[in-house]
Amino acid sequence: MLLYFHDQQDAAEKLAEAADMPAACIDSHRFPDGELKLRLPAQVPQRVVLYRSLDNPNEKMVELLLAAQTARVLGARHLTLVAPYMAYMRQDMAFTPGEAISQRIVGQFLSTIVNAIITVDPHLHRVATMQELVPGASAVVLTGAEILSDLIVQRRERPMLIGPDAESRQWIAQAAKRHGLDFAVCTKVRSGDHAVQVALPPVDVAGRAVVILDDIASTGQTVAAAARLLRAADAASIDAAVTHALFAPQAMERMRAAGVGEVWSTDCIAHPSNCVSMAPLLAEALRQIERQSGG
């Protein structure tokens, strides 16, 4: 049985259909003081999948804790978390002494409440694999880069992919390889939430249909900084494709003002820019977990 929360009903139901599983919505009530009360179906089977993408994670991790423990009390023996967006992955070291290494703490927390985790393009930079972050659970990592690449070649002639920073190389390389596309990667220095400096790589983008591809857009500053340079370098068109459409307020306006035409994203995070569904790949990952765990 797949359990989901009301605000992610569309993506969860698509996954339930692709995986051929029954699905039920977890009922959630918020008390006047802000606390939550959850209600799951009165009986759950031995194998339960919790669908919770972890954008706006602070609340959602408490929900997950309550839901996972309740599912166990109601009879679940094996819990799989499908979190297409995995939160807190960018804080992967103490950049100044005393900072919490959130990536590690969140990974450990999740691995104590579920048996398996499926996620998409987690922002792994200084850590090689998701499995290292969730020692007590099994991890399956998928990518949105290839299905975004499929979409890009349908929408643009002879596109060139540009990654806005070094971390994006892993996704750009996969997306480019799938359709034999030209690609290059910028360098970026971030000095604050809204302060980024990007430098273009030495490639000729004049007259090319350029697509900036990244795992995440949040403030949109990274995409906007790259777009301004591409516009100045006479790119014929500039579009953006991201796996995770976090999009803080003003992000879309900021990117458009910098010259970005279309914005395409996967449905890992529900957003009007969603163009491709992760459901078929997530369903296959669920089958893989089932085989591995003898379900």
Q: Which of 14, 37, 177, 188 is catalytic?
A: 188
Closest distance of CB 46 from ligand R5P, Å: 38
Which of 57, 84, 159, 220 is the binder for ligand R5P (CB under 6 A)?
Answer: 220
Q: Per CB under 6 A, does 167 bind ligand R5P?
A: yes
Q: Counting contacts by CB under 6 A, is residue 215 touching ligand R5P?
A: yes
Asked if 222 interacts with ligand R5P (CB under 6 A), we say yes
Buried-state track 201-239, b at ≥16 Cβ within 10 A, e below 16? eeeebeebbbbbbbbbbbbbbbbbbbbbbbbeeebebbb
Q: Is 219 in the site for ligand R5P (CB under 6 A)?
A: yes
CA distances 188 to 143, 167, 254, Å, are 23, 10, 18
Q: Does 229 bind ligand R5P (CB under 6 A)?
A: no
Q: What backbone phi and psi angles, to 5 degrees, belong to 268?
A: -60, -35
The residue (of 149 and 221) whose beta carbon lies closer to ligand R5P is 221
Query: Which residues, 6+ apart, have CB-to-CB distance to 51 below 8 Å?
Result: 2, 3, 4, 5, 8, 11, 12, 15, 82
Closest approach, Cβ 166 to ligand R5P, in A, equals: 8
Sole window of 34-42, 217-225, 226-234, 257-265 interacting with ligand R5P (rule: CB under 6 A): 217-225
Residue 188 annotated to the active site: yes
Q: Which residue has the tokens 């500039």?
A: 238
Is 55 a binder of ligand R5P (CB under 6 A)? no
The residues, ordered by sequence, that sit 6+ positions from 253 with a Cβ below 8 Å of its Cβ are none
103, 111, 221, 243: residue in contact with ligand R5P (rule CB under 6 A): 221
What is the C-alpha separation between 198 and 37, in angstroms, rounded? 45
Q: For residue 218, state whether it binds ligand R5P (rule: CB under 6 A).
A: yes
Q: How far is CA 135 from CA 66, 99, 106, 108, in A?
A: 21, 22, 12, 7
**Considering beta carbons, is residue 138 or 243 the nearer one to ligand R5P?**
243
Active site residues: 188
Residues within the interface to ligand R5P (CB under 6 A): 90, 123, 164-165, 167-168, 196, 214-222
